[in-house]
Structure 1
Amino acid sequence: MIQRYKYFLLPVASGVLLALSQPSFPAGQWGRFLIWFALVPLLFFVQREDLSKRRVFFGGFLAGLIFLGTSVGWFWGAYPLDWAGIENKFLGFPLTLFIWLLSAAELALFIGLFSLTLNYFFKKASAKISQFWLLFFIPSLWILFEYFRAWGFGVFWLGSESLLGPHWTFGNLAYSLAESAPLLQLASIGGIYGLSFLIVFVNAALFRTVQTNGGSFQRLIMPGGWNRRALKNFSPLIAAALLISVLYPAGWLILKNKNVSGKETKVAILQTKIPSTFQPTFQRQMEILTQQFSLLAEVVKNGKDSDIIVFPEGANLIGVLGEERSKSFFNEIFEGKQKLIIDSGPMIDENDKLSIATFYFDPQKGVLAQDEKHFLMPLGEYLPYWFKAAATIAGEGEWTRRFEERRGYKKGPENEVFTWEDGQQKQKFASLLCSGFLSPNMNRRAAGADAEVLVVSGSESIFRGAPSLVKQKIAMAKFRAVENNRFYLQATNYDRAFIINSKGQIQKIAPNLEPTVLVDNIVFISEKTWYTKLG
């Protein structure tokens, strides 16, 4: 039995190494090191010609299940499911397990398909292709399936309010490099897929070096070991080393020469800690207001000269107070000075459809503009078709009706850039509610439409601020900032608020999940990166 399945130890090893390399895992500096050879065991498994197609696919799938199951491990933060109207913990546990495993399996499917395709290539064409082109083929194939995976998650969880596109990027290899300042800067040229290509290129070079090395490694390190054959066997590794030796300094040059100067604007970013509930209550609303008023008192004390104040997703202070009372309230506490308040809350249209909208509010003029949420989360803000059908068949039609009535939202139109005139100049924002941080495309379109600052109003109360999710969000936000050369701000609930500058550096971050206010200066930047221009 052990002999029969021993080859699966290789994809298991890759799955574990990939999991350890992700920002969600507390491996620290080791993560950035592990990612450069994490795929090597899987590549050795895939290149075997004695394995059946089924085993090759299963090996890749198994590596993906371990890796991506860890990446979406924050799903468990949603348990218990009382926030969704499921009070029974004995029912909630297997349901959470089912959703987590199903999501991980759907994502892992694409690594299985990558393995199957690469194995077919090794069997049919590897002998006919040069070493040089093979090194480019393997990472090209990987990022192709990585791109398909970003589409696939949305297709799998398809519902009436889905947004289809390559938005679901958790598990992208590039995020492992979020703490590597020089390499992170390369995202301004190639985005996450460019850096993912680089990572797999190095993995492929290591794989080919070991595979073709034979006995030359000893000769290479021993006196007199340098010869033409040894150099040829080590050419993939030499090519990878040369590539890194060029790109790493290039990243440092970009970092050193990037200009973040300009007219500074002071912002106040609010962070609350309000748990999610299925049935809104007066007590919960009072708790929300109490926290908000307490935080605004801190803004008045420590950041009264802030020009912009950003609330977390669903704060809805303006909605609760009403427009006229909000004008009076903010004019009173800020002594009639011009401010921009970015708030969000539920909005009902003429067809009684509920949506979540961002409100841009000026205490002097009232609501200046509103922008409905465009990218909704499955099972949190809408029910996928297959899940709704399964619940109905299981006799839970009443639950689906109640969920859609209380937590179901309609998708809004594509988000627009908002222009605010503060009396001296025009400043352009793009506000991406909550899940917008996942999508490189949405952020790139916003920057391409001349947004000068990217703002996320978020809430992770469903997942209760799961640490692995918080870490992934910070890594993703660093990439969104660098990709588009923009300051990236997050006001949030049950999460950590932050201000990240256009270099991907954390300028300010909340120390924990407790309610707080971040006050700091930001710069509005209009210059576009190659990534923003060309994508």
Structure 2
Amino acid sequence: MAFQLWLFCPSTYSTLIFSADAGLATAAKSRATAIHFPVKIARGIVARTVTAAGAIRKPKAGHSTRLLSSGSLPPLIGAKQLSQARWLLAALVGLALALAFPEPRWLGLAWLVPGAWLAVVAGERRWRLFGMAFVAALVFRLVSLRFLLNMPHAAGAIGGWLALSFYSALYPAAWAWLCAGWLRDGLAKLEWPWFRRLGFGMFAAAAWVALEMLQSRLLGGYPWNFLGVSQFENFALIQIASVTGVYGVSFLVVWASVSLLFAVLQIRRSPANPWSWMADVALPLLALGLVCGWGIVRIAGVPASTKKLTVALVQPSIPQQLIWQGNTGDERLAKVLELSRLALATKPDLLLWPEACAPITAERWPEVFDMVKSSGVPLLFGADDVERVSGSDEVRYFNSAVLLTPDGLQLPSYRKRRLVMFGEYIPFEKALPFMKYLSPIGGSFSAGTEPVQFTLQAGEHTLAPLICFEDSFPHGGREHVSAETDLLVNLTNDGWFGAGPEQWQHAANAVFRAVENGVPLIRCANNGLTCWIDSLGRVRQFYGQETGDIYGAGFVSFEVPLGQALGQMVYNRHGDVFGWACLGWVLGVAGVRRFRAKRGLHTGGGIG
């Protein structure tokens, strides 16, 4: 009786042929079991046979060829099919990364993806390499940004989903293309010593951070779903963001993932040594242990706050189609006022309305002011602010946050500084008038120029407002928090995206602004997620927590401890020192590599 098992290794384009012959005759007549290992098919097959007795001999001419062309089992995959399989694997890598974010937030997948990504594209060259890297990144973005398809403007929904996915996919694709350049001969030929594998793992992590830094700034910035954000529920780990920003979490995830890839390669090379993988993962595991240990101590050591504020938040859940209809303003305002009166019955210290929920006309303004004056509770709400340019007929519109107190408006109002493309402004509107048809907004808002802080209770408390996705910008959130800031408040309208994963993704991004700046953050949303997040990044309470419906209409009241309980954070004081250092390291290594290549000194090795 005989059998052959054919196994193909995708990363090396090689075939492992396990053959065994067994007889039922006596031991003297039985044939020994043999294992044949042919090397790369592309270079011709030179097989050697390892016998059961341990002797190594060269097979007869043509023997290995017969093994490849005969037998009871055909090869599982050929070179062409293998190439196609790599494209499919790249798409699966992107899907896995998307699943690490809400929803379903399987955060463990994020620790596997960067290493798996490099394993899929290793050995590829130039545009084929970038193509596979881009497929993985594009699938990740298309799946994670699928909520854009819920927008009620069909042309804008599909066009925006595709355009934003293609654009934001360029950054992680560039990472895979850059790092896989060192792996162009394939993983099978990778024979780096330990220190070089360590250096490459840290370089890959720094490169990921560098590209996230660029993504948060170029073309106005789109810092959505950075890799570290996938870990928003890992409270011990994310405390490092108080020093490095969210970028430190991204760094650790990539470093651990690439190190795990090298550990797997070491196991394959030295199956007889069960501890061969330890050298590659020892330092990343030590770093993770120290960071998480420090995080646990930090969480346990937060002193109780002596200042607290009871905040009532109105979530009207007004459909975006209704907001775009110009004749619905009174109806929307009536709904918000009704919910507000119910919320005021809880005796809060502050009342919040979300962004863009209802216009307040001159005729309805006295009704709103009377409610605030009679209750004695200040109201922070989103409104459209209008300003006429001095000496001209030009009128500017701003998306603003306004604080109305029993004594009147507290000026200046806060004007949103980072606008959403096609949602709040139309790019190249004057030069390319047709662009306005890609958006339902009709006209563009102007951007504000500086942060504003509001004071409550005769200056006893200080809060800083953010509007819409401004709570996704690490450096932007930092600019709003001073040493005196007690609370961050985000007013947002996520009703654009219906009921879907966007609400939780937005909240997950906001978690890091609380950790980075050491202050609690309250989010008041049109249709979720209305919640408050403590200074350690824990979502403590949210609307719909009891019912499971975070999207419905209603109100909720939170008692929030105020202030920077652990003092001013390192990140808040010094900003993106870690991120800029990673970017500088990557540029330095790339520059040296290019210089050595031009001088003919580059050997195709690793980092350094």
Fold match (TM-score > 0.5): yes
1:223-302 alignment, distance < 5 Å: 230=276, 233-277=277-321, 279-282=324-327, 284-301=328-345
The sequence identity of aligned pairs, in percent, is 21
Q: Distance in 1 between matches of 2:282 and 2:440?
A: 57
User: In the alignment, does 2:507 pair up with 1:503?
Assistant: no
Q: Deviations over 1:395-434 (max 9, x none)?
A: x87x58x956x452111222222233x14x5211111111
Paired residues of 1:361 and 1:368 also in contact (CA < 8 A): no
Q: How many residues align?
A: 478
Q: Which amino acid is the alignment partner of residue 265 of structure 1?
A: L
User: In the alignment, does 2:179 pair up with 1:106?
Assistant: no
3-state SS of 1:448 partner? coil
Q: CA deviation at 1:21?
A: 0.9
1:313-392 alignment, distance < 5 Å: 313-315=355-357, 320=362, 326-332=368-374, 334=375, 337=376, 339-350=377-388, 351-385=394-428, 392=434
Q: Distance in 1 between matches of 2:125 and 2:191?
A: 18
Question: Residues 115 and 300 from structure 1, CA distance in 2 versus in 1: closer, same or farther, beyond 3 angstroms?
Answer: closer
Q: CA deviation at 1:201?
A: 0.6
Equivalent residue for 1:441, pick from 464, 472, 475 = 475
Q: TM-score, normalised by structure 2?
A: 0.73
Question: Partner residue of 1:183?
Answer: 237
Q: Deviations over 1:415-472 (max 9, x none)?
A: 222233x14x5211111111212111111111136422100111122222x4210110
Q: Distance in 1 between matches of 2:382 and 2:214?
A: 32
Q: Distance in 1 between matches of 2:483 and 2:282?
A: 42
Paired residues of 2:424 and 2:445 also in contact (CA < 8 A): yes
Q: Distance in 2 between matches of 1:147 and 1:367?
A: 35
Structure 2 residues without counterparts, runs of 5 or longer: 1-79, 389-393, 545-549, 576-608
Paired residues of 1:319 and 1:345 also in contact (CA < 8 A): no
User: In the alignment, does 2:250 pair up with 1:196?
Assistant: yes
Question: Residues 366 and 45 from structure 1, CA distance in 2 versus in 1: closer, same or farther, beyond 3 angstroms?
Answer: closer
Q: Distance in 1 between matches of 2:161 and 2:557?
A: 37
Question: Residues 444 and 321 from structure 1, CA distance in 2 versus in 1: closer, same or farther, beyond 3 angstroms?
Answer: farther
3-state SS of 1:432 partner? strand
Q: Which amino acid is the alignment partner of residue 495 of structure 2?
A: S
Paired residues of 1:457 and 1:491 also in contact (CA < 8 A): yes
Q: CA deviation at 1:60?
A: 0.9
User: In the alignment, does 2:37 pair up with 1:37?
Assistant: no
Q: Which amino acid is the alignment partner of residue 502 of structure 1?
A: S
Q: Distance in 1 between matches of 2:563 and 2:410?
A: 25
Q: Distance in 1 between matches of 2:423 and 2:134?
A: 27
Question: Residues 531 and 66 from structure 1, CA distance in 2 versus in 1: closer, same or farther, beyond 3 angstroms?
Answer: same
User: In the alignment, does 2:602 pair up with 1:529?
Assistant: no
| Structure with greater contact order relative to length (CA < 8 Å, sep ≥ 6) | 1
Paired residues of 2:503 and 2:528 also in contact (CA < 8 A): yes
Q: Deviations over 1:281-317 (max 9, x none)?
A: 33x223212211221221232x22x111111112456
Q: CA deviation at 1:323?
A: 5.6
User: In the alignment, does 2:525 pair up with 1:489?
Assistant: no
Q: Distance in 2 between matches of 1:403 and 1:513?
A: 23
Question: Partner residue of 1:89?
Answer: none
Q: CA deviation at 1:475?
A: 0.9
User: In the alignment, does 2:486 pair up with 1:411?
Assistant: no
Paired residues of 1:313 and 1:343 also in contact (CA < 8 A): yes
User: In the alignment, does 2:213 pair up with 1:147?
Assistant: yes
Question: Residues 383 and 39 from structure 1, CA distance in 2 versus in 1: closer, same or farther, beyond 3 angstroms?
Answer: same
Paired residues of 2:115 and 2:254 also in contact (CA < 8 A): no
3-state SS of 2:540 partner? strand
1:440-459 alignment, distance < 5 Å: 440-448=474-482, 450-459=484-493
3-state SS of 2:558 partner? strand
Q: Distance in 2 between matches of 1:107 and 1:171?
A: 10
Q: Which amino acid is the alignment partner of residue 252 of structure 2?
A: L
Equivalent residue for 1:312, pick from 354, 357, 361 = 354
Alpha carbon RMSD of aligned pairs, Å?
Answer: 2.6
Q: Deviations over 1:53-81 (max 9, x none)?
A: 01110111011001122221111111x31
Q: CA deviation at 1:328?
A: 2.9
Question: Partner residue of 2:129?
Answer: 56
Q: Deviations over 1:154-184 (max 9, x none)?
A: x2xxxxxxxx3xx422131111111112112
Q: Distance in 2 between matches of 1:178 and 1:469?
A: 15
User: In the alignment, does 2:150 pair up with 1:116?
Assistant: no
Question: Residues 142 and 451 from structure 1, CA distance in 2 versus in 1: closer, same or farther, beyond 3 angstroms?
Answer: same
1:155-174 alignment, distance < 5 Å: 155=219, 164=220, 167-174=221-228
Q: Distance in 1 between matches of 2:241 and 2:168?
A: 23
Q: CA deviation at 1:324?
A: 5.2
Q: Name which one, 1 or 2, has greater alpha-carbon Rg.
A: 2
Paired residues of 1:313 and 1:345 also in contact (CA < 8 A): yes
User: In the alignment, does 2:104 pair up with 1:26?
Assistant: yes
Q: Distance in 1 between matches of 2:361 and 2:207?
A: 49
Q: CA deviation at 1:507?
A: 2.4
Q: Which amino acid is the alignment partner of residue 104 of structure 2?
A: P
Question: Partner residue of 1:480?
Answer: 513
Structure 1 residues without counterparts, runs of 5 or longer: 82-91, 156-163, 221-225
Question: Residues 260 and 184 from structure 1, CA distance in 2 versus in 1: closer, same or farther, beyond 3 angstroms?
Answer: farther
Q: Distance in 2 between matches of 1:349 and 1:63?
A: 46
Equivalent residue for 1:68, pick from 124, 130, 141 = 141
Q: Which amino acid is the alignment partner of residue 497 of structure 2?
A: F
Question: Residues 300 and 308 from structure 1, CA distance in 2 versus in 1: closer, same or farther, beyond 3 angstroms?
Answer: closer
Q: CA deviation at 1:46?
A: 3.5
Q: Deviations over 1:12-45 (max 9, x none)?
A: 232122111112x214xxx122111122221113
Q: Which amino acid is the alignment partner of residue 519 of structure 1?
A: S
Q: Deviations over 1:497-519 (max 9, x none)?
A: 11111122222211122222221
Question: Partner residue of 2:465?
Answer: 431
Q: CA deviation at 1:371?
A: 1.5
Q: Distance in 1 between matches of 2:139 and 2:191?
A: 28
Q: Distance in 2 between matches of 1:126 and 1:260?
A: 54
Question: Residues 460 and 205 from structure 1, CA distance in 2 versus in 1: closer, same or farther, beyond 3 angstroms?
Answer: same
3-state SS of 1:360 partner? strand
The structure whose residues are more often helix, as a share, is 1
Question: Partner residue of 2:586?
Answer: none
Q: Deviations over 1:293-348 (max 9, x none)?
A: 221221232x22x111111112456655566554333223x1xx3x3211221122
Paired residues of 1:46 and 1:118 also in contact (CA < 8 A): no
